Structure 1
C-alpha cells in the first residue's frame, strides 16, 4: 500500500523529530493492525511525504478501524496532522491520499 500527503516546509524538522522517536504504543498499534515494512519518505522541494507499507492481515477495514479508534494513535495524530497538508482529491475524513499501484516487480499470484 502506498499513500501521499503534503508537508508544511516549516514543519519538516518537527516531523523528522517526531518520527525519530515514535511512541512505543503507536508502533505496537501499527503492528497489531497487521502492518509491516512501513516506511515514510520525504521529497523536497515539492514537500511531499510518501508512505509505503505491507498489509499482512485478513480484514483491512477492521484493522484500520481499530487503529483509528486507538486513543494513543489519535493523540499521536494531533502532533503529526498539523505538519501535513491534505492533497486535492483526498477523501473527506482522511489525511493521506492512497495511491494506485501500477507496477510490481514481483507480483504474488
Structure 2
C-alpha cells in the first residue's frame, strides 16, 4: 500500500438464504470485472459475510475516489449489478445498497 492509497470499507445486505449463490457467483467472478477493478486502481478487495445478520463487509484499497466512482459507469459493472440484484439488497439502478464505514483505527 502506498501513501496515496485510500482504504475504503462498506457494508451491504445479502438476501436470506442466498449465501451459497453469492459465494458461487464470486468464485466464478467474470475476468472482465476483475480487469476493470484493477484498471481503475482497486486492489486488496475482500468481502466477508456475517452469517447471522446476512451483512456483507467489504474492504478495498483504491488509488483515487474518481477512479473508484468511474467503475460504476462501466458496462461490465452494470451487468454484474443486474446479475446480483436478485440475491442482495439493491437500488433502483441495480447497484447494491451500501453504507460506507468511517475509519477509526489503522495499523500498518
Q: TM bucket by the smaller chain?
A: 0.7 to 0.9
The answer to whether structure 1 residue 24 and structure 2 residue 9 are counterparts is no
Structure 2 gap ranges (5+): 1-7
User: 1:100 aligns to what?
Assistant: 102
Deviation at 1:94, TM superposition (A): 6.2
Report the count of equivalent residues: 97
Between the aligned partners of 2:37 and 2:54, the Cα distance in structure 1 is 25
Is the 1:3–1:51 Cα contact (8 Å) retained in structure 2?
yes
Aligned-pair Cα RMSD in Å: 1.6
Greater share of helix: 1
Output the TM-score relative to the length of structure 2: 0.81
Structure 1 gap ranges (5+): 87-92
Is the 1:81–1:95 Cα contact (8 Å) retained in structure 2?
no
Output the TM-score relative to the length of structure 1: 0.80
Deviation at 1:95, TM superposition (A): 2.2
Deviation at 1:85, TM superposition (A): 2.4
Once superposed, which parts of structure 1, at least 4 consecutive aligned residues long, lie more than 3 Å away?
Answer: none
Match of 2:42 among 35, 39, 60: 35
Aligned residue for 1:79, secondary structure, equals helix
Aligned residue for 1:10, secondary structure, equals coil
Between the aligned partners of 2:30 and 2:51, the Cα distance in structure 1 is 26
